[in-house]
Amino acid sequence: MKCEIHPRESLELFCETCGVLTCRDCQLSVHRDHGGHRWVKEKAELLRPGLLAAMGSLEEQMEHLKILLGAAKRAPTALLASVDAAKASLRRSLDVLFHSINKNKESLDVELDRIAQTHIDRLAKAYDVMRSLMERIDYTLRLSHCLVDNEGKDPASMVQLAVCLEERLEGLAKQVSIVSADGSVDTSAAAEGDEDVQTVSGWRKSATSRVVFLPNRPSDELAQLVSSVCWTSGQDADDWILKGLPEHKKSADTIDQSEGCDDGGGGMDTTEGPVDVALFSGGCAVCRSSGLLAVCANCQRAFHPRCHLPRLDSVSLQSRRWTCSLCPTATINTIKSPSAPPRRIRDACTEVSSTTNTQPSTWTQEQFESGCRILLSLLCHPEAFWFTASIICPVCSSSLSVEDVPMADVSNADGLCGVFHALARLRRCLEASETLAEKPIEVWIRDIDAFTADTCAWSKEFGVPAVTEALNKAACSLRDALDSCVESYYPAFFESQRSP
């Protein structure tokens, strides 16, 4: 390369102060007082490590981008397959109740196609952007390799372009990171000035989206409830996007996020295969309603995350074979003589020690788990349907949700409302036992027994013989079940309550 001011002179020097290539004449004139000068070859050697490091980093990012590109290309096929499976399930259900939900079928088909097309369009844009980004990376890397390979013949070109190329390489690597992260707060702020990268935003969610048809309760409610679908995003989908999914490998069981909780493990199966509709036809074992359910791998009971005790979250559902609280100890019972009479809470000593009444006590973890099993067993009892099937009190029309029960009213279960509010209050007390110094577990068990006894008494106040008989039968059944549950899960109660 020749100097523009002195055409006969080669650019053999580099001015550290100005950051430009100079010839010898320029060094002795314009740049004479600048001090720091290096030979071009020496400067090229100094710049070489940084450029090579940037190239190596970007090459790794390029390999990662190839995996992302493949995932984006394959995702529409899997997405459409799940849509087709959901439509097939929908049509099978509509054949039974076609006369009442024909209009709903057409609107749901349109909604499925609309949402699916939205995801597919987003994935198509993401694919184009990532392919364009790969082409730019490939061109930049080839140019960088050319400069590095020709360093001996033309070091000046490398010096001239090294800084620019290094910035370009870093910029491309940053764009790949933004595309890969797809949605974090930091990367979203970094991508504000790049329209292409903004176009990619949300592609990962579209790539992992799958639609699952949710069958609902039978009878007259099916006309409105049977046509439910749920778009899910699997936990493992992020893993195969990051690591690459082989063509022969099928998707693993995924965990669906709903209402701040995850349903998965032994629960909702959102793989490519058809969903077992019969598995969910009975609804939640506690509230008997439908929705996103976690299914126990042992007993096949299904639970809403909020209905199970203790409540389910993403951590508790990490296992591939999730089991409910009742299964691990379902076979553990106190060994008694066959001729020994059953021990009943109502027959235990009615005198509770003054220490138990006056001194609050935080439950141990073992006591909390026993309490969860006792109450969950009662909630799953067939006769508990009268108290758990509705979320609204039929007497006062207030919510029966546990979250709506103030801690100050946990023990207030008087009157007709107490028949329906008592279980929510007892559950609230149980869930607070780990963190608050409330009543001991023995007193809490007695409160459950008192609830069943009070229900028998208050059921007569409804004035409707059919209702009175049904509630009285349910309360008696639950009281007998409570004795068995305490005997199985917390036999220490009877030891601590022995009559003097």
CATH of the domain at 366: 1.20.920
Tell me: do 304 and 369 sit in the same domain: no
Per the CB < 8 A criterion, the answer to whether 80 and 206 are in contact is: no
Residue range 388-394: mean pLDDT, rounded:
73
Tell me: do 258 and 318 sit in the same domain: yes
Per the CB < 8 A criterion, the answer to whether 231 and 209 are in contact is: yes
Tell me: do 194 and 46 sit in the same domain: yes
Residue range 406-427: mean pLDDT, rounded:
65
Tell me: do 355 and 431 sit in the same domain: yes
- Listed range (250-264, 431-445, 474-488) with the worst mean pLDDT: 250-264
- Listed range (122-126, 225-229, 257-261, 310-314) with the worst mean pLDDT: 257-261
Residue range 79-94: mean pLDDT, rounded:
79
- Listed range (76-90, 255-269, 358-372) with the worst mean pLDDT: 255-269
Of 264, 292, 324, the position where a domain reaches its end is 324
**Please, which pLDDT band fits residue 271 given cuts at 50, 70 and 90?**
very low
The predicted pLDDT at position 263 comes to 39
Q: Would residue 182 count as lying in a domain? A: yes
| pTM of the full structure | 0.45
Residue range 95-111: mean pLDDT, rounded:
72
Tell me: do 189 and 317 sit in the same domain: no
Per the CB < 8 A criterion, the answer to whether 289 and 217 are in contact is: yes
Using CA atoms, how far residue 250 sits from 99, 247, 280, 493, in Å, is 38, 8, 23, 50
The CA distance from 228 to 364, in Å, is 42
Residue type, 469: E
Of 145, 173, 206, the position where a domain reaches its end is 206
Burial 241-273 (b: 16+ CB within 10 A, else e): beeebeeeeebebbbbeeeebbbbbbbbbbbee
Positions of E strands within 206-330: 209-214, 228-233, 256-258, 261-263, 294-295, 302-303
The predicted pLDDT at position 43 comes to 82
Tell me: do 177 and 265 sit in the same domain: no
**Please, which pLDDT band fits residue 498 given cuts at 50, 70 and 90?**
low
| Token digits of residue 358 | 């006056």
Tell me: do 318 and 349 sit in the same domain: no
| Furthest CA-CA distance within the chain | 117
Tell me: do 285 and 421 sit in the same domain: no
Q: Would residue 67 count as lying in a domain? A: yes
Q: Would residue 31 count as lying in a domain? A: no
Q: Give the residue numbers spanning the domain of 47.
A: 42-206
Q: Would residue 230 count as lying in a domain? A: no
Per the CB < 8 A criterion, the answer to whether 210 and 270 are in contact is: yes
Tell me: do 258 and 371 sit in the same domain: no
Output 224 or 462, whichever has higher pLDDT: 462
Identify which of 43, 41, 2 has the alpha carbon closest to the alpha carbon of residue 19.
43
- Listed range (375-384, 388-397, 424-433) with the worst mean pLDDT: 388-397
Q: Would residue 226 count as lying in a domain? A: no
Tell me: do 179 and 288 sit in the same domain: no
The predicted pLDDT at position 47 comes to 84
Tell me: do 284 and 362 sit in the same domain: no
Q: Please give the tally of structural domains in the chain.
A: 3
Using CA atoms, how far residue 134 sits from 242, 286, 476, in Å, is 17, 53, 71
Positions of E strands within 377-455: none
Output 368 or 391, whichever has higher pLDDT: 368
Output 124 or 262, whichever has higher pLDDT: 124
Tell me: do 171 and 262 sit in the same domain: no
User: Is residue 363 over pLDDT 70?
Assistant: yes
The predicted pLDDT at position 34 comes to 77
Q: Which of 30-39, 191-200, 372-381 has the highest mean pLDDT?
A: 372-381
Q: Would residue 195 count as lying in a domain? A: yes
Output 354 or 285, whichever has higher pLDDT: 285
**Tens digit of each residue's pLDDT (9 = 90 or more) over 182-212:** 654 344 444 455 555 556 677 888 888 887 6
